[in-house]
């Protein structure tokens, strides 16, 4: 016995007319007749009396209808209660992905469709602070960017690598490096850098691997701010080209220069708590995984 059969039976019992019921259910009359026939066969008893070309519920059909109405009413009540619970749960879900939400604006709409009451948090936090906020349940989902390898985390947190993009030195077409086919990172010791605040540690770590500290002479809160500074021709920045393209800036003003002495890739990673019990948080996690799996 299938749920759909019960809906079909309830509609036919209410209208006591196969053709009208088929029209209301948007199915063909033969399909509806076959469904009712299979239901009667499964129950082992007829539910309708055929009077000429008309039908009417018999005593068995009336008794069965009482049970169907009661069962479907209970299911609908449970569905409404679950919707209320999910809505309350959604209002508590917080997602923080400062740079990734900016890089992937098309990700926001499917998240809102799945969880209309989701809260986006836009504080500027380091990767370590993000993970701590996730562990202490201040946040439910984190999208984090890291260079070349995922972060080492403990047994409380799970993660997935969403994508990997090569990193470049981004410059204005007015910059003296703009015509270079590539650049050695080790030759950038004296170059003024511009960087977003969340990316400063990443930049410092990369430079440290070459034995120097970056000369960061401009700090911005958003990649558009940083690109605006780079457009002056004074600064360079370390970034994926994808981040520049989706920032809203006019990328025709900039060039991407490959790095010849080190392979650098920006990994976008999704972090969530293991054994997560929140249905809303799990819906968001799966929506983000599907978004990237579909190629955005």
Q: What is the mean pLDDT of residues 245-268?
A: 89
How far from each other are the two terminal CA atoms of the chain, in whole angstroms?
40
> Given a cut of 50, is residue 121 above it in pLDDT?
yes
Q: What is the mean pLDDT of residues 86-110?
A: 60
Give the whole-number percent of the chain exceeding pLDDT 90: 39
Res 235: pLDDT:
97
Say how many C-beta atoms besides its own lie within 10 A of residue 209's C-beta.
12
Q: How far apart are CA 150 and CA 125, in angstroms?
A: 17
> Given a cut of 50, is residue 117 above it in pLDDT?
yes
Res 97: pLDDT:
47
Helix (H) or strand (E) holding 270: strand 265-273
> Given a cut of 50, is residue 199 above it in pLDDT?
yes
Query: Token pair for residue 279?
Result: 């249905």
Q: Are 171 and 177 in contact (CB under 8 A)?
A: yes
Please provide the CATH number assigned to the domain covering 94-293. Answer: 3.40.190.290
Res 74: pLDDT:
84
Q: What is the mean pLDDT of residues 222-243?
A: 91
Which span out of 13-22, 139-148, 182-191 was modeled with the highest average pLDDT? 182-191
- The residue with greater pLDDT, 242 or 54, is 242
User: Per CATH, which fold does 3-89 belong to?
Assistant: Arc Repressor Mutant, subunit A (1.10.10)
Res 39: pLDDT:
92
Across 46-50, 75-79, 150-154, least confident range: 150-154
HSE-up of residue 86 (Cα within 13 Å, Cβ side) = 15
Q: What is the mean pLDDT of residues 52-57?
A: 82
Rounded to 5 degrees, φ, ψ at 157 are -120, 140
Res 285: pLDDT:
86
Intrachain domains 3-89 and 94-293 with the same fold: no
* Domain ranges within the chain, ordered by starting residue: 3-89, 94-293
Res 52: pLDDT:
73
Hey, CA dihedral for 11, 13, 14, 18, is it positive or negative? positive
Give the whole-number percent of the chain exceeding pLDDT 70: 86
Q: How far is Cα of residue 98 from the mean position of the Cα atoms in its chain?
A: 14
Res 98: pLDDT:
45
- Tell me whether strands 94-96 and 119-121 are parallel, antiparallel or unpaired: parallel
Helix (H, G, I), strand (E, B) or coil at 233: coil
Res 248: pLDDT:
79
24-50 pLDDT tens trace? 999 999 999 999 999 999 999 999 998
Across 67-71, 131-135, 182-186, 223-227, least confident range: 131-135
Which span out of 21-30, 266-275, 279-288 was modeled with the highest average pLDDT? 21-30
- The residue with greater pLDDT, 55 or 143, is 55
78-93 pLDDT tens trace? 877 766 656 665 555 5
Residue with tokens 């690109």: 227
> Given a cut of 60, is residue 54 above it in pLDDT?
yes
Res 155: pLDDT:
79
Res 38: pLDDT:
92
Q: How far apart are CA 53 and CA 15, in angstroms?
A: 14
Q: Are 273 and 135 in contact (CB under 8 A)?
A: yes
């Amino acid at each position: 016995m299938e749920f759909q059969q019960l809906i079909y039976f309830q509609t036919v019992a209410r209208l006591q007319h196969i053709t009208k019921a088929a029209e209301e259910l948007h199915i063909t009359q033969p399909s509806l007749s076959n469904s009712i026939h299979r239901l009667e066969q499964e129950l082992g008893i007829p539910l309708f009396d055929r009077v000429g070309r008309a039908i009417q519920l018999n005593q068995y059909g009336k008794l069965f209808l009482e049970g169907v109405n009661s069962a479907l009413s209970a299911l609908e009540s449970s569905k409404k209660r679950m919707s209320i619970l999910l809505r309350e749960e959604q209002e508590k879900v917080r997602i923080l992905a400062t740079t990734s939400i900016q890089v992937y604006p098309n990700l926001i709409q499917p998240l809102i469709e799945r969880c209309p009451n989701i809260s986006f948090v836009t504080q500027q936090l380091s990767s370590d602070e993000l993970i701590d906020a996730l562990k202490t349940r201040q946040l439910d989902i984190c999208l984090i960017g890291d260079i070349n390898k995922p972060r080492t985390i403990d047994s409380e947190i799970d993660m997935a690598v969403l994508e990997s993009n090569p990193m470049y030195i981004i410059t204005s077409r007015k910059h003296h490096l703009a015509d270079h086919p590539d650049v050695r990172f080790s030759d950038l010791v004296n170059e003024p850098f511009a960087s977003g605040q969340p990316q400063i540690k990443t930049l410092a770590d990369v430079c440290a691997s070459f034995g120097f500290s970056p000369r960061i002479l401009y700090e911005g809160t958003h990649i558009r701010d940083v690109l605006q500074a780079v457009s002056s021709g004074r600064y360079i920045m370390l970034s994926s080209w994808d981040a520049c393209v989706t920032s809203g800036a006019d990328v025709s003003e900039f060039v991407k220069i490959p790095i010849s002495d080190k392979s650098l890739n920006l990994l976008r990673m999704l972090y969530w708590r293991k054994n997560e019990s929140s249905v809303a948080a799990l819906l968001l996690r799966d929506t983000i995984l599907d978004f990237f799996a579909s190629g955005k």
